[in-house]
Amino acid sequence: MSHETVYSIASGKGGVGKTTTTVNLGTALAQAGKRVAIVDVDLGMANLAGFVSLSPDSTTLHDVLAGNASVEDATYRLAENIVAVPSGIGLDEYAETSPEGLREVVSELRSTYDYVLLDVGAGISHETVLPLGLADAVVLVSTPEPAAIQDSRKTIELTARAGGTVAGLVLTRTHPGSDISHPDLADRLDLPLLETIPEDSAARESVYAGTPLVAYEPNGPAATAYRHLAAELAGIELAGTADDTDADDNDNTGDNDNTDTATAEDAAGSETEDGNSPESTDETSATDDVSSAITEAESDH
């Protein structure tokens, strides 16, 4: 699958770990040296902003789609090799957006980064269906629960109607001792099973810490599974040891040229993209704010 570089990470329902999968897949690819952009295309219920501490006047994807800013203006550096393009959370800004502009956004990012991951909103609307057809392939995320699997069928159908293809299924929060056959679940959807992400207590801890799981607990079972998923999609081998996360531990800023922002990994970031130091902030307060935002986002999605 290494020829595919733009993936929509989608689910039939919220709360199955779609954003967590997007962030950890992107981080694993970045740790392997790939240039990655993750984009929150859930325009109405944005949650990726929780991974980038934004001030009220920060530029977001909403501004880009309203024709008031460039993609570069809304791009924030998370760590080495990885950036985020968050959507805004204001209803007024949302009302001014034109989802059709996503085509140009994806095209521009595709030409700049090795991989572009689109975090797609759940539900049925033009803005959630459009990204399914813009990507090279869709990664469908679900838990093993019957309701989640049933809703996944709808996403498969929507992807086909949008002219897209589904790369396969990722099952999250799985239990090794369960009597549920994960391959059988994938077969019911007529999809290959890309990866199973086991239930891992470190996942919740990483949310509160405001750090992607693959950096927070790199050798844990869920982090290992996310690295396997990255290797499968990219057609590469990932070392996946604790040493691989050194760059993230030492370089955890989130910013663009216009706004001093903190990332989920280091809310008090130390360096901007152009090498200038940002204004000093209260580290503890900023970290608490970001962690709270991430926790809220994960609870909603």
Give yes or no for residue 279 having a pLDDT over 50: no
pLDDT band with cut points at 50, 70 and 90 for residue 146: very high
Q: What is the pLDDT of residues 90-137, one digit of tens each?
A: 666 666 677 889 999 999 999 999 999 999 988 777 778 999 999 999
What pLDDT, on the 0 to 100 scale, is given for residue 210? 82
CB-based contact 220:205 (threshold 8 Å):
no
Domain boundaries, the chain: 6-300
pTM of the model: 0.78
Q: Using alpha carbons, list the distances in angstroms from residue 199 to 25, 166, 203, 211.
A: 16, 24, 8, 17
**Fold category of 6-300 in CATH:** Rossmann fold (3.40.50)
Give yes or no for residue 21 having a pLDDT over 70: yes
Residue type, 66: A
Spell 85-101 as b/e; 16+ CB within 10 A means b.
bbbbbeeebbeebebee
Instruction: Kindly report the average pLDDT of the chain as a whole number.
Output: 79
Give yes or no for residue 89 having a pLDDT over 50: yes
What pLDDT, on the 0 to 100 scale, is given for residue 3? 63
Q: Between 13 and 243, where is the model more confident?
A: 13
Question: What mean pLDDT do residues 62-71 have?
Answer: 92
